[in-house]
């Protein structure tokens, strides 16, 4: 039996500095990126009135608020990145968890979070059910 699922994608960006600990290369030195973020959520039902899974405006507002907290900061000084490396992989996992919490009252669930340091490379985090 099949079921319907819609996936909604919201994109954002932020600028921040970081240094990769134990990298043994030029990225171990302090440097910055204009990060690109892509959040994908999914839902199985449409609202009866507007026939939307969720309002894009509400999703954008929540993502922008979360990104504002890490915009123009030195990530290595911000928990948990004062302990773990502020890699794209860890940023994607961090933002996934933060947005999962923020969106808990909405009729969507997190599907994936992608963080790119440049337009040509990114890391995607998702949680798969067994």
Share of the chain above pLDDT 70, in %: 100
Asked whether 70 and 78 are in contact (CB, 8 A), the reply is yes
For residue range 102-119, list pLDDT tens digits in order: 999 999 999 999 999 999
pLDDT of residue 1: 85
Confidence of residue 44 (pLDDT cuts 50, 70, 90): very high
Is the CATH number 3.90.1170.30 carried by domain 35-116? Answer: no
Query: What DSSP state is assigned to residue 117?
Result: E
Task: Give the C-alpha separation, 123 to 113, whole Å.
Answer: 8
pLDDT of residue 2: 87
Asked whether 90 and 36 are in contact (CB, 8 A), the reply is no
**Average pLDDT of span 23-30:** 91
Nearest to 120 by CA among 50, 62, 16, 33: 33
HSE value, Cβ hemisphere, 13 Å, CA-based, for 126:
14
Share of the chain above pLDDT 90, in %: 92
């Amino acid at each position: 039996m099949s079921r319907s699922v819609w996936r909604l994608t919201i994109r954002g960006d932020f600028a921040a500095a970081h240094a990769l600990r134990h990298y043994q290369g030029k990225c171990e030195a302090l440097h910055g990126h204009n990060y690109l973020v892509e959040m994908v959520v999914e839902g199985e039902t449409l609202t009866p009135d507007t026939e939307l899974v969720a309002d894009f405006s509400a999703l954008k507002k929540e993502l922008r608020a979360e990104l504002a907290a890490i915009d123009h900061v030195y990530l290595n000084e911000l928990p948990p990145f004062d302990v773990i490396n502020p890699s794209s992989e860890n940023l994607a996992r961090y933002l996934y968890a933060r947005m999962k919490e923020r969106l808990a009252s909405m009729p969507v669930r997190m599907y994936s979070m992608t963080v790119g340091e440049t337009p040509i490379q990114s890391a995607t985090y998702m949680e798969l059910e067994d």
